Chain A
Amino acid sequence: MSFRTVRPLLAALLTASAVASAQPPAEPAPGAPAAEGLPAAAPARGVVDYRIEARLDPATRLLEGRQVVTWRNLRSRPTQELWFHLYWNAWRNDRSTWMVEDRYRGRSDRGDDAEEEDWGYLVVDSATPQTATRFAAPDDGNPDDRTVWVVTLPEPVAPGESVRVELEWHARVPRTFARTGVRGDYFFVAHWFPKLGVWEEEGWNCHQYHAATEYFSDYGAYDVSLTLPSRFVVGATGRRTERTDHADGTSTHRYRQDDVHAFSWTASPDYLVVEDSFHSPGLPPVAIRLLLQPEHRRQADRHLHATRAALKLYGRWFGPYPYGHLTVVDPAWGSGAGGMEYPTLFTSGTRLFNPSGGGSPEGVTVHEAGHQFWYGLVGNNEFEHAWLDEGLNSYSTGRVMQETYGDSFVVRRFFRPPGLRGSGFLPWIYRDLPQSELIRPRRLDDYRRSARSDLPSRPTYRYFPATAGDITYDKSALWLVTLERHLGWPTMRRLLSAFFERSLYAHPTPEQFFALADEVSGRDLSWFFDQVHYGAAVFDYAVTSVKSAPVGRRGLFEEGQGLAYRDEAGDPEAGPFRSEVLIRRLEDGVFPVEVLLVFEDGSEHRESWDGEYLWKLIEVERPVKLAWAEVDPDHLLVLDVNRANNSRRLEPRARFPAVKWASKWLVWFQDLLHLFGSYV
């Protein structure tokens, strides 16, 4: 049975159910309740429902679809237009805004070597009702960009009313761009249908597709039927409610899910299906379905363990995962689909050889599972405030990883064939090179490189593409760790839990987060957010000088009725000693810090400094000499770009470690010289 023959039947079904679903939800949630004095998170639940019938021909990679969109106007203004994202048109040619920006990223997904069959597209064949359609480029006016499409309706949609639009479209699945596409007979299909933007009080929020940002949509119900050859194992957002096998060797898989803001699916004949479940006291159970590449079967437990860890700790710290099911996808080699989040489904990503303890695939699994919370359930605008989910989630991932697995170890991959990009195939794990999962060194490196590359408060889609990720992920995660250490974990946890609760199924903004931080902590934290979000402050405190000398006296001193000259050297054995420590603020960032002085007998002297002025001199007199001094000894200020200068010994001891590590380098270099010699 071909798709064309079932069209009339499907149309009838779609119409009937669309009418039914056009009713307002039984209990429409108007967005999260606002704290007193705070703006409410924008209502986003029950706004839009999709009913989609799609058919994939794997041979031609063509996707044909019909969909009925029912949209409700929950704002106070009418609108006569509906703005849709047509994301896949970003990969129609090299003139789209996405492709232009991708070239600036310097890590082109595929633009440089894409061939004719690699490009994808999404073409809407018909829309009913409508009086006109057009493409729009609200962000940059790019006339060649076809990722935003506007439908003009015959009548305006008044506040509180709803409208139903029927669309027919066809699309070609690209070779993978932005984690979406095909490799061999492996399909990962995301952001694949005409998808409504978000109607706000100010107008439609429907950005063009950008290379360094992701998505933004309202919540609603999805009812999606996918028809494709029966040999394919399918995974998708939601629960599969039906499977119908057809005589032509195809099957239709019907998935339904309420209260999500996207729908993605994957299909491959090779998937190994592993079923598991999550149970933890106080949290709702979750059925986990792992779609695994057969060559990774030995890593099934590692994927499942990481998923359960994320569900447990995010659930306990922030709020429960409510959907009851979750699909974990291990993408095919080279598909480029790994490490991406979608509602009730995410892609992980591993390698054939991945030593335990190296943090992979656990890290990416926890991160993408965590996005079910920060992105899935809390639906911030990823075009404009990507840090709200990526920063919060990177920070949360680090916490879960550190708590569950502890430090990871450095892994270096060897055997990278000549002429090829990417990492090598054969890993070597350095079990004597641990690294923190909470403050990953790579994260610090990226932040250090890009600390001033953009103002974080600028809309994310306007960040410089090459360094956008450094701000969105790395800097944000690091200032969140700093905030945690400043406030303490219990307060931070209360803040994130409250933010989760108030932003559930809603569109929170950074301002709401900052206001909530003030409220929960009971402090005015604007000085901090002004620097890390509204500014591009860089932090660097240093101990620039330490001295400790016996206390003597020299000069004229009052004695009896007059002044007497005294020249008395201090006792270098018995003391006492005057110790001087000079602390400097070397960059513009200001943060209150502690200064710790440790003396030769192990005794300590600790002082607080507001960190505002450019320097502070600490003078202490003790019976013993100073051993060393350190500013921010508890490492609260994770954003400090140079930790090495935070401490200073009275007597430097750098020679031994320098010789030790240079001697290891020497062995490598001697061997390298032999390699040079081997060519002659």
Chain B
Amino acid sequence: MVALRAAWRGIGRALASPKLLLWLWAANLLAALPAAVVVEEAIHREIGASRVEERLRDGFDMAWYGEYRHRARGLEDSFTPTHSGPGAFFANLDHWLRGDLLELPPALVATGVAWALLWVLLLGGVLEQWVRPAPRLELGRFLSAAGRYFFRLLRLAALTVGLYYGVYRLARALFPRLEELTQTATRESTVLAAYLAGAAVVVALLALVRTIADYAKIALVGEERRSSLFALLAGARFVLLHPVRTGGVALLFGLAAAAALAAYALVAPGAGAADAGALAAAVGIGQLYLVVKLLLRLGLLGAEVTVYQGAARDTLPPPL
């Protein structure tokens, strides 16, 4: 019940700050736009004056796509029609499970790293708003907090990335081992069951790292900690001391994200959209889904702040 209440409160916090949601969505959109322009130009160039445009307007042309891929390089090569609809998010879930983001084209990785740095900066402002809510969200206060906590959060991010790296190293050792263990299995279902079990372990570890990192950030901002390492330890300690609450909140938001993805899969626009109105609707639905995901992310942070502050009131652990 604590987790449920915290989740409710977290979502409430996120919804109560639509301006914040808008800023973060806009920042994300602006960060992605330059690369999208490059891809748009590549598609535009490859269509040229050709009548292929008719097929790409009404649907898609897989034969043309082969020609496109044949000439595409780097960033342009990342375009695929299978990134339409929910496929885009399934693909990213796969990236998350595999931890292979650094294998993407360098331009995408560079943009991704830049976005991650920006996200670290923004997080300071977000957490300040969640930990010490102001009646009105003010840009000056937001940016001031972002700057104040940036380097501390950056150091914490470096430590967190190290933990993720460890999880992925483990995963890359685990699955080949599972493959070895099932090398005489003659049923795909047997192998799939083993891999799903392995994936459950990896996902649990990834979720654990993320949860610890979230509470570490909350501790860092909420308690004005200077040491990122001790903040991380505080986060870990908090999660260990309150596994049901912290785990419950993470689980609830995980389920909510899955439900959102399922809903999106039902309404996601595919290759259609042959006129401007349909295109606008398709873009709108995609962006709306991203806003929902962002809302859930902010809501999770808000819920975790609620849990942290609530637990601190209940049983304040001795400071590290």
Contact = CB atoms under 8 A, between A and B. Distances in A.
Interface string A640-680: 01111111110011111111111111111111111111111
A47 B32 CA distance: 69
B319 interface: no
Interface in B28-46: 28-29, 31-33, 35-37, 39-41, 43-44, 46
A652 B36 contact: no
B279 A663 contact: yes
A430 B84 CA distance: 9
Contacts of B104: 672
Interface string B111-122: 111011101100
A448 B187 contact: no
B79 interface: yes
Contacts of B28: 670, 673-674
Contacts of A648: 48-51
B210 interface: yes
Nearest to B49: A652
Given A416-B98, A661-B79, A669 B70 contact: no
Nearest to A447: B66
A663 B210 contact: no
Nearest to A633: B51
Contacts, number: 304
A351 B192 CA distance: 11
Interface string B82-119: 11111111111111111111001000100111011101
Given A184-B185, A425-B192, A414 B43 contact: no
Contact of B47 (A268, A332, A658, A679): A658
Contacts of A439: 63
Nearest to A672: B92
A186 B90 CA distance: 34
B195 A441 contact: no
Contacts of B168: 418
Contact of B32 (A294, A656, A669, A678): A669
Nearest to A650: B49
Interface stretch (B13-21, B137-145, B230-238, B282-290): B282-290
Contact of B282 (A185, A431, A663): A663
Which of the listed residues B33, B186, B286 has the most CB atoms from chain A within 10 Å of its own CB? B186
Given A184-B186, A410-B62, A675-B101, A419 B113 contact: no
B44 A412 contact: no
B270 A430 contact: yes
B297 interface: yes
B100 A418 contact: yes
B160 A680 contact: yes
B39 A424 contact: no
A244 interface: no
A449 interface: yes
A662 B49 contact: no
Contacts of B32: 666, 669-670, 673
Interface string A238-258: 000000000000000000000
Contact of A679 (B111, B160, B202, B276): B160
Contacts of A441: 62-63, 65-66
A276 interface: no
A664 B270 CA distance: 9
B171 A418 contact: yes
Contact of A295 (B99, B117, B187, B202): B187
A669 B36 contact: yes
Which of the listed residues B78, B82, B198, B297 has the most CB atoms from chain A within 10 Å of its own CB? B82
A179 B252 CA distance: 47
Contacts of A430: 81-82, 84-85, 87, 270-271
- Interface size, B (range): 35 or more
Interface residues of A, number: 82
A415 interface: yes
B62 A295 contact: no
Contacts of B33: 666
A417 B60 contact: no
B317 interface: no
A352 B192 contact: yes
Contact of A645 (B48, B78, B108, B287): B48
B271 A432 contact: yes
A270 interface: yes
A607 B108 CA distance: 47
Nearest to B57: A657
A674 B294 contact: yes
A641 B63 CA distance: 10
Nearest to A673: B115
B195 A417 contact: yes
B273 interface: yes
Interface in B128-162: 153, 157, 160-161
Give the dominant DSSP class at B's interface.
Answer: helix
A428 interface: yes
A628 interface: yes
A410 B116 contact: no
B176 A420 contact: yes
Contacts of B82: 410, 412, 428, 430, 433
Nearest to B31: A673
B225 interface: no
Contacts of A414: 90-91, 93-94
Given A433-B271, A643-B63, A662-B43, A654 B49 contact: yes
Given A293-B186, A333-B187, A428-B86, A417 B53 contact: no
B85 A676 contact: no
A436 B37 CA distance: 30
Contact of A417 (B48, B57, B199): B199
Contacts of B314: none
Contacts of A436: 63
B183 interface: yes
Interface in B261-294: 270-273, 276, 279, 282-283, 286-287, 289-290, 293-294
B23 interface: no
B185 A334 contact: yes
A332 B183 CA distance: 12
B95 A412 contact: no
Contact of A658 (B29, B35, B44, B98): B44
Contacts of A647: 50-52
B272 to A, nearest CB: 6
A669 B107 CA distance: 12
Contact of A673 (B37, B40, B83, B111): B111
A645 B56 contact: no
A445 B116 contact: no
Which of the listed residues A415, A434, A658 has the most CB atoms from chain B within 10 Å of its own CB? A658
Interface of B: 28-29, 31-33, 35-37, 39-41, 43-44, 46-53, 56-57, 59-60, 62-67, 69-70, 78-79, 81-101, 104, 108, 111-113, 115-117, 119-120, 123, 153, 157, 160-161, 164, 168, 171-176, 178-179, 183-192, 195, 198-199, 202, 210, 270-273, 276, 279, 282-283, 286-287, 289-290, 293-294, 297
14 contacts: A334-B191, A412-B91, A418-B172, A419-B172, A433-B270, A439-B63, A656-B53, A658-B47, A660-B56, A663-B279, A663-B282, A666-B286, A667-B88, A677-B116
Given A661-B56, A669-B32, A669-B108, 14 more contacts: A185-B186, A412-B90, A417-B97, A418-B97, A432-B60, A441-B63, A644-B64, A654-B47, A657-B53, A661-B40, A664-B282, A665-B36, A667-B287, A673-B28
Sorted nearest first, the 3 A-B pairs with minimum C-beta distance are A662-B40, A657-B56, A668-B88
